[in-house]
Structures are given as structure tokens and as C-alpha cells.
Structure 1
Amino acid sequence: MAAAAARSFDQFTMALPQLGNDPAAVRKRIEMLELVLERALVVPGTQMRFGLDSVIGLVPGVGDIISGLMGAYIVWEARNLKMSKWTLWRMAGNVGVDTALGAIPFVGDLFDVVFRSNTRNLRLIKRHLDRHHPASATINA
């Protein structure tokens, strides 16, 4: 019974490419999460973009923990892609710096807008995927 359920779930995830474990699906998930966390909103009348990471960081304590956990999810996905331990540590450091300095009232909120740890980590993941899984590459217009 459990094996049939597992096969059924595997068939379901293959039908929805964003839910798969293949590198292209992982890339799509991480790109969407990075967009939401770092660049989803625009300050009216300017070109300055910010995301959910900056907005939820305004909630003292809890907001920075939540954004840190979302950043940690990106590192977890990178681990599943078999990225090197050095790169994973570098990515975890990016999230750690963003979370720690983002927790400082007011200054940390400004820091969140400038230091985009999730964008930095996405860049590292894209570099890895382009090198080791070139079929997962997307064309950016």
C-alpha cells in the first residue's frame, strides 16, 4: 500500500515540474523564492526593488527568524544538488550575516534592502547548475 502511494506521489510530482527533484525544477523553485524574498516589490517612482525579506524583517525578532529560515531553505536545496561543502558554508554565511545584522532595529532593515543574501546564493546555485547540469539553464530575456 505504501509503495503504491509513493509511486502515485512520484507520478504526481513528475506531472508538475516545479515539484520535482530534477535540477530544472529546483532552479525554478529557488528563482521564484529569490524573486519573492528580494525583488517582488518596487518603491513607487523609483527603480529600487525590495521583497518579503525586507518587509517581514520589520517585525522585531520573529520577522528576521522567518526570513532566515526561508534563506536556509535555499541552502538546503543547494545541499540536495550536491554542491560543495565550501559553497554551502559560504551560502550559510550569507544567510547568517543577513539574519544577524537584519535583527538590528532600523539599521538592519536598511541592511536587508542592500545585502541580498538570497540573490547571492541564487547566483552561486546558478553557477553550479550551469556547470554541472547545463540542461537546466533558462534563457533570460
Structure 2
Amino acid sequence: MIDANGTTPGTGTTPGAEVDGGPLPRLLCDTAGLPGLAEAPSGALWKPAESGRQLDANVVHLEPHRQVDTHAEPDLDVLLLVLDGSGTLGTLGTERGPQELAAGRLLWLPRGSSRSLTAGAEGLRYLTVHRRRPGLQIRGRADRAPDPLPE
């Protein structure tokens, strides 16, 4: 997120800052400065605003006992790092059953795998990282494939 001064809160850096034509390494977010588990609503608490990056990330919060329903990401592998709280990862097609989630646990969610997340009694906060999806491209009529001929 970007504040009114054009900097990423808690970092003092301006997105897109460059030296010698290349982007500068920089702190993106201080997760310790995000709202506490008891204070935050469910949803994304942070995501990067920097353009031109190849990775995407989110810090997500689930309120106590809230759930992300079973879904699959068909195109991207995802890393999930539990930052705070507890919960369970449900998976389909495995003999393991639900996996317990706790702060410090790092999970690989391979593309195509089905999974669900359920927050524990104090809630759950986690970071996801994956390859950035390409943006939607708008094409003009000249770029469009011709309409098929009527039969």
C-alpha cells in the first residue's frame, strides 16, 4: 500500500525508485506494523504496489474460524508462510488429511492442487508469494482474429 506521501508505510521508500536505470532493492512492508490479529478484518492487509515486478505477494488475514473455501490455482505454484495465529490446510486427494498451520510454517501449494484454509480460534495471518500474472491486454480490432465465415 502507498501512503499520501507516495511511500510504502514503515519503509520510507518510494515505489519505482531506480539508480543507473535499474530498480533498487528495498523494504516493501514491515509486517510487525500491520494491525494485530484481534484488530484486523478478514482479507488482504498488504500487497505490493511496485510496477514491473515479476513476483506478486499478499499478506492475508482470516478472522477466527473463517475459511477460504476449497479451490485450485490452475496456473501458479504458491508459497504460503504463516505469520501469526493458527489454522488448518485442507487438501483433496491426499491421505494426510488436514495439516496444522502455525507461525513459521512454510508451505508449497503446487499449481493444480486443491486446498482450503480455516483459521483457528485466534485467527490466521499468512503471506502468499507467486509469479505475477500478466495484466489484461486490450487489443484493437486490427489485432483481433477475423470473424468466422458463415456456413
Instruction: Give the alignment's TM-score, normalised by structure 1.
Output: 0.28
Structure number with the higher helix fraction is: 1
Over alpha carbons, which structure has the higher Rg?
Answer: 2
Q: Give the structure with the higher percent strand.
A: 2
